Amino acid sequence: NNLVALTSNQPGFVPLLINGRPLKSINQFYNKRKAQLQSQLKGNRSSSSRLGRLTRCRHQKVDNYLHHASRQIVNLLASQKIGTLVIGKNVQWKNEINLGKKTNQNFVSIPHARLIEMLKYKAELMGIKVIEQEESYTSKSNFLNLDPIPVYGNIGAQDAKFSGKRIKRGLYKTSDGRLINADVNGSYNILRKAIPNAFGDGIESCVAQPRRVNPLEVKVKGEGIEASHVM
């Protein structure tokens, strides 16, 4: 349910979770309404003006949400004087994820590549360096114990042992019983995978409890686009 989990090695930085539920709601409404309109098509028609309008409005709503999310992230980095942004990227995420038909339908409809594109150009305009990092095993590794993080496909990667596990989609449990938000755990691991000495001074000053924000309050239903700031 999180679009983005933002963490930092800056002491005291509070992890930020960007709410992804509005995008899922947009996609759920779009898929349902699209099916209704397609069922009304006659003959061999595969599209209509209403279907076209519905699709354009869906794209506008998603793009608008991603613009505000990326702007909020970059503004926060600039205000905290953070000079490097590491973005986790898995080019095979659509093929590897199997969360059920409805979840997959929503997942693949969220243009993560578009969000990365927005983050990159906005960050670079602010003088923030951007690193794209492959994220294999970052969700399995235990950040609190600084588990090693192998690279998928490398020798021995599949035999790697980790001192914790994801017990459900929102929580990661360490072998000694500690709990951490699963997305926050993965985000910290992506950072240290890209910059191995990012936590050279230890992790004692790292905050584990995140705060969740909505960059926009989105009107989901309807074929127009409306949004109000809640920042």
Say how many CA atoms lie within 13 Å of 205 toward its Cβ: 11
Domain count, the chain: 1
Taking only the tens place, the pLDDT of each residue in 167-224 is: 987 999 999 999 999 999 999 999 999 999 999 999 999 999 999 999 876 554 554 4
pTM of the shown model: 0.83
CB-CB contact of 229 with 216 (8 Å): yes
More confident: 105 or 212: 212
The separation between CA 57 and the C-alpha centre of its own chain, rounded to angstroms, equals 22
Its domain, for residue 212, covers 2-229
Give the per-residue pLDDT at 149: 96
Give the per-residue pLDDT at 39: 86
> What residues are paired with 131 via a beta bridge?
86
With a cut of 90, say whether residue 40 has pLDDT above it: no
Taking only the tens place, the pLDDT of each residue in 122-156 is: 999 999 999 999 999 999 999 999 999 999 989 98
Mean pLDDT of 7-18: 95
The beta-carbon contacts of 178-181 under 8 Å, at least 24 apart in sequence, are: 178/144, 180/143, 180/144, 180/208, 181/5, 181/15, 181/17, 181/208, 181/209, 181/210
Give residue for tokens 């995420």: 93
With a cut of 70, say whether residue 102 has pLDDT above it: no
More confident: 79 or 1: 79
Least confident of 69-78, 91-100, 203-212: 91-100
